[in-house]
Amino acid sequence: MTAQALKPAAAAAHECRLFIAGRWTAGAGDDWLPIVNPATEAPIGRHAVATAADLDEALDAAAAGFRIWRDWAPQARSDVLRKAAALIRERLEVLAATLTAEQGKPIEQARMEIGNCARGFEWAAEEGRRAYGRVIPANVPNLTWLATREPIGPVAAFTPWNFPASQAAAKIGSALAAGCSMVLKGPEDAPSPAAGLVQALADAGLPPGVLNLVLGHPPQISAHLIASPVIRKISFTGSVPVGKQLAAMAAAEMKPATMELGGHSPVLVFGDVDPVALARTLVQGKYRNAGQVCVSPTRFYVEQSAYDAFVETFVEAAKSIVVGDGTDPRTQMGPLAHDRRLEAIGALIEETRAEGATIRAGGERLGNRGYFYAPTVVTDAPEDARILREEPFGPVAVIAPFTDRDEVIARANGTPYGLAAYAFTRSHETAAFVGRALEAGMVGVNTFAIGGPEAPFGGVKDSGFGREGGMEGLSAYLVTKMLAQTPG
């Protein structure tokens, strides 16, 4: 497999164009922004910047694409998604290398992410054939009532840079399986993996206009797309503040939205577990993708009896993580994805230090080239410290002790977030209790494995609304129509 297969979207030079009406284009403005490798800070390519005219063209294409795609049989749509999944698997090495170069994660994690895109398309291909409606017994003779489910229409989707391929795949797979068309704004920091997915779908026979990719200035693009009468549904993954802005814009247009926003996931470690073995395992989950994961475990509450042993082991394990360029197979944690994140994490840790917390590991940038930040462990943070109130979105674990079950639930639930929460215990009774008591869209008991194409993914409270994945993921792109008929 050579980079040739990705041409012209994401070839070796990482020149990422816009994809509008089935064509790769530099855009009307021929305006470009650089793509930077976060491990080296070297510019490794460039991406096109959409103008208002490009966005209008993408909207026209999505409108035309929808009229065609909604009438394809679900089986035919399924075939395209399956074929695209096969192409993604064939191109996995090139796509993974591109992902690591642009986003920084270790190559093995990049391979897993690309593999998950193929799995996601396959799940959507199956699920799209099951958009069942129902026959409702009518209240008079000779009257038929049918509840049918139709694709909602052209979708405006916005996906972020932390999982630049799989976040796009989750939205694309379900929307296309449901019969919707889409204008996708990909992540400007790492755009080529999403372009690779678009290319795979085009190569698999997706009609022009059904999926369009735009890049550029996010606020301009979202304002333009959400206001357009063509767009019937919004789906966004990103931060809470931006999510609130886009949700307000969608509400003003009376458009349904799916909002996958940030989290600040609590982890409750009860005293009946082996704190040493567990700390070693949990460290792996904490620093995956340098902690830039919306469901990353961030606040570890450990029962007092297990606290010292847990902290000691966790700190040692965090210090032993191999940080480096993601292309090196020995690397366990890559750089942060861009300079904004490095700055944000640096400022947060300085503030945490000033608030009186103890930095037990890390707490500093590594080297002076590349956006590397050391795996960091914080203890003794005051309960009102910013790090316990705001999502850190980086390689930072805060650990604190607890003594009382109700009190720790109150602390775990005491932020505006409600995305994921975790608990580790050997007690069935405690497991059942925390499963009910934790305010989160997803709760992992004795596991961090809460996501997959088959499972509904999403939050409560400020973490957003709507679900991706599972049958809920498909439903997000369908609308129910009540059809009443008589023989005439």
- Active-site residue numbers? 260, 294
Nearer to ligand NAD, 310 or 448 (CB): 448
Parallel, antiparallel, or unpaired for β 18-20 and 23-25?
Answer: antiparallel
> CB of residue 65 vs ligand NAD: minimum separation in angstroms?
22
Nearer to ligand NAD, 78 or 298 (CB): 298
Helix H, strand E, coil C: the string for 110-131 is HHHHHHHHHHHHHHHHHHHHHC
> CB of residue 352 vs ligand NAD: minimum separation in angstroms?
16
d(CA 47, CA 232): 27
> CB of residue 402 vs ligand NAD: minimum separation in angstroms?
26
Residue type for position 134: R
Residue type for position 52: A
> For residues 22 and 202, is the Cβ–Cβ distance under 8 A?
yes
d(CA 325, CA 14): 18
What residues are paired with 365 via a beta bridge? Answer: 373
The C-alpha angle 334, 335, 340, rounded to 5 degrees, equals: 150
Nearer to ligand NAD, 65 or 441 (CB): 441
Residue type for position 46: R
CA dihedral sign, ordered 63, 64, 70, 76: negative
> CB of residue 347 vs ligand NAD: minimum separation in angstroms?
12
Binding site for ligand NAD (CB under 6 A): 158, 160-162, 187-188, 218-219, 222, 237-239, 242, 245-246, 260-262, 294, 340, 391, 393
DSSP string, 243-299: HHHHHHHHHHTT--EEEE----EEEEE-TTS-HHHHHHHHHHHHTGGGG--TT-EEE
> CB of residue 118 vs ligand NAD: minimum separation in angstroms?
20
> CB of residue 226 vs ligand NAD: minimum separation in angstroms?
9
Longest dimension (CA), the chain: 79
Parallel, antiparallel, or unpaired for β 478-485 and 297-303?
Answer: unpaired
Q: Is 155 helix (H, G, I), strand (E, B) or coil?
A: strand
> CB of residue 350 vs ligand NAD: minimum separation in angstroms?
17
Nearer to ligand NAD, 303 or 391 (CB): 391
> For residues 163 and 154, is the Cβ–Cβ distance under 8 A?
no
What residues are paired with 260 via a beta bridge? Answer: 237, 464
Nearer to ligand NAD, 242 or 387 (CB): 242
Where are the strands (E) in 296-375, listed by range? 297-303, 358-361
Nearer to ligand NAD, 179 or 285 (CB): 285
DSSP letter at 481 equals: E
Nearer to ligand NAD, 69 or 158 (CB): 158
Residue type for position 83: K
What residues are paired with 33 via a beta bridge? Answer: 47
> CB of residue 257 vs ligand NAD: minimum separation in angstroms?
12
Residue type for position 8: P
d(CA 78, CA 98): 27
d(CA 18, CA 24): 6
Nearer to ligand NAD, 125 or 190 (CB): 190
Residue 75 has a CB neighbour count (10 Å cut-off) of 10
Residues with Cβ within 8 Å of 167's Cβ and at least 6 positions away in sequence, in order, are 159, 160, 187, 237
> CB of residue 130 vs ligand NAD: minimum separation in angstroms?
27
Nearer to ligand NAD, 18 or 269 (CB): 18
